[in-house]
């Protein structure tokens, strides 16, 4: 996965360590809020919604329960566009995506890329460790695939964070 398409856009997520509700914002390079990520605190399985700053829903990510390994469905405009399933592997995390999309990188460190079925890199996420919570840098390389790339990156980041929280307890 090397070929990058389109103009690069950078976004940032600053995650708070303690939050009464699970709400985060995606910031653009100028530090302005671009999207809101909202997760239900009490639910069976993860349910995350990506909104614009006017409150319009852009994407919905839902964890399917009753699977041996974590499985997530991504909806854009209320249509299922991609599913993500964690592969069973003892040593490392790996994910299988429908529609020919691929992810590659170090999932435990939250540094990975996503490519479309043609091998074009749509986006990447990198975790940057800071003193109060984590900061993520998201790069989107294909403007036409921005919402799907953001939703896939958020779904995998949610799964990795969930697994790390479960291992810490």
Lowest mean pLDDT among 5-14, 17-26, 66-75, 157-166: 17-26
Tell me, yes or no, whether 153 lies in a domain.
yes
27 and 11 in contact (C-beta within 8 Å)?
A: yes
Tell me, yes or no, whether 2 lies in a domain.
no
Q: What percent of the chain has pLDDT over 70?
A: 73
Q: What is the pLDDT of residues 11-64, one digit of tens each?
A: 988 765 444 457 888 999 999 999 998 887 666 667 889 999 999 999 999 988
What's the pLDDT score for residue 99?
Answer: 82
Please give the tally of structural domains in the chain.
1
pLDDT band at 6 (very low <50, low <70, confident <90, very high): low
Q: How many CB atoms lie within 10 A of CB 1?
A: 17
Q: Which CATH number is 81's domain given?
A: 2.40.160.200
* Residues spanned by the domain of 125: 9-168
d(CA 146, CA 37): 15
């Amino acid at each position: 996965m090397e070929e990058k398409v389109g103009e690069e856009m950078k976004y940032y997520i600053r995650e708070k360590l303690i939050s009464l509700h699970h709400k985060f914002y995606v910031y653009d390079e100028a530090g302005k809020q671009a999207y809101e990520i909202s997760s239900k605190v009490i639910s069976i399985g993860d349910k995350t919604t990506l909104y614009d700053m006017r409150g319009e829903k852009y994407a919905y990510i839902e964890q399917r329960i009753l699977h041996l390994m974590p499985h997530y469905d991504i909806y854009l405009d209320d249509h299922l566009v991609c599913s993500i399933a964690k592969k069973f592997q003892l040593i490392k995390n790996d994910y299988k995506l429908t529609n020919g999309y691929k992810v590659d990188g170090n999932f435990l460190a939250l540094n990975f890329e996503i490519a479309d079925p043609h091998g074009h890199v749509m986006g990447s996420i990198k975790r940057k460790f800071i003193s109060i919570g984590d900061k993520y840098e998201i790069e989107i390389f294909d403007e036409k695939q921005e919402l799907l790339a953001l939703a896939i990156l958020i779904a995998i980041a949610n799964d990795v964070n969930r697994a790390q929280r479960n291992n810490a307890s």
